[in-house]
Amino acid sequence: MLDSSRHFQTIDEVKRFVDRLAAHKMNVFHWHLTDGHGWRFESKKYPNLTQHGAWRIQPGYPEKGKTEKYGGFYTQEEMHDVVAYAKARGVTVVPEIDMPGHCYALVSSYPERGCLGIEQRVDYVYTYPADAQRFPTHPGTDVLCVGQDETVKMCKEILDEVLEIFPSKFIHIGGDEVQKKWWKGCKVCQAHKKKHGLKDEHELQSWFIKELDSYLTKKGRRMVGWDEILEGGLAKNATVMSWQGERGGIRAAKMGHDVVMSPQTYIYLDHGQSRMARS
Ligand SMILES: [Zn+2]
């Protein structure tokens, strides 16, 4: 998995990453294309996602007199190119569009899609690992207002564009670290919860994920999400990536679901690998 949101890589760098995967006989490239810190997937339908959401003011830049914004995005043509490049090396690209949390960049580009409906900046991050800090770092919400029909429609329309570029069977929709407090304080989300007979915010998240699951299933694809999608009830055809440890993966497997074990403790290779690595 490569995170192109928190830090942006050029297409040449992405291809070099694919070369490394192939050299190690790894045949799946999980491409984390969107997050709070920058939206990297070009959508023709929602151009503001990249015109606005792909760029942020990096901490330290104004102090150093730098006026340019940090960021970038991949055009649809470039992503097609990466898919073909990977395919020629036996690698399948699985895109991740993270929803309904980790959506700072999206909500910043389309404020009406958040529960607050206010203007907010794209979030920023410090450099790893020395100044890593908890996300998000900017005031505002990084959670989508899932109670609005318009929000669900937008998510599906973005996925339509994703499916056209990425032929992979599996499509990752994120689903991790959703701060449900925003839904608790949102009239629209509360009304939606009531309408659908959902007992709490976990069930509201589950309702949203199930919408995406059945949408992708209808299109002949399979949905993957991080292990938080177990909360409030797991969608019928979902595959779970267990990042918070092994428990979620084991639970999902026992329920008969496919699982990708990715516990951060052992296999997040960007974490400090020893005490020395942090000094
Ligand atoms: Zn809401």
Distance (angstroms) between ligand 1 centre and the Cα of 133 equals 27
- Average pLDDT of the segment spanning 150-172: 98
Question: Is 261:242 a contact under the CB 8 Å cutoff?
Answer: yes
Return residues with CB closer than 5 A to ligand 1 (ion): 115, 145, 147, 186, 188-189
pLDDT digits (tens, 9 = 90+) for 219-259: 999 999 999 999 999 999 999 999 999 999 999 999 999 99
Q: CB–CB of 222/239 below 8 Å?
A: yes
Cα of 53 to ligand 1 centre, how many Å?
A: 20
Q: How many Å lie between the centroid of ligand 1 and the Cα of residue 109? A: 16
DSSP category for residue 31: E
**Could you tell me the two tokens for 209?**
């994920």
pLDDT of 129 strictly over 80: no
What is the rounded CA–CA span in Å between residue 32 and residue 262?
A: 14
Beta strands at 38-39 and 222-226: parallel, antiparallel or unpaired = unpaired
pLDDT at 148 over 70: yes
Residue 4 Cα, ligand 1 centroid: separation in angstroms? 28
Q: What is the pLDDT of residues 109-122, one digit of tens each?
A: 999 999 999 998 89
DSSP conformational letter for 28: E
167: cis peptide before it, omega within 30°? no
- Residue 146 Cα, ligand 1 centroid: separation in angstroms? 6
Q: What spacing in Å lies between the alpha carbon of 191 and ligand 1's midpoint? A: 9
How high is the pLDDT of residue 264? 92
Longest dimension (CA), the chain: 56
* pLDDT value for 273: 73
Ligand 1 center from residue 266 Cα (angstroms): 36
pLDDT in tens, 36-50: 999 999 999 999 999
Q: Which domains does the chain have, with CATH numbers?
A: 2-272 (3.20.20.80)
Evaluate the omega torsion of the peptide bond into residue 62 and state whether it is cis, within 30 degrees of 0.
no
- Active-site positions? 35, 102, 177
Paired tokens of 155: 């998510």
| In the predicted structure, residue 73 carries a pLDDT above the cut 80 | yes
What's the 50 CA to ligand 1 centre distance in angstroms?
A: 23
Partners of 92 in beta bridges: 28
Is residue 132's pLDDT more than 70? no
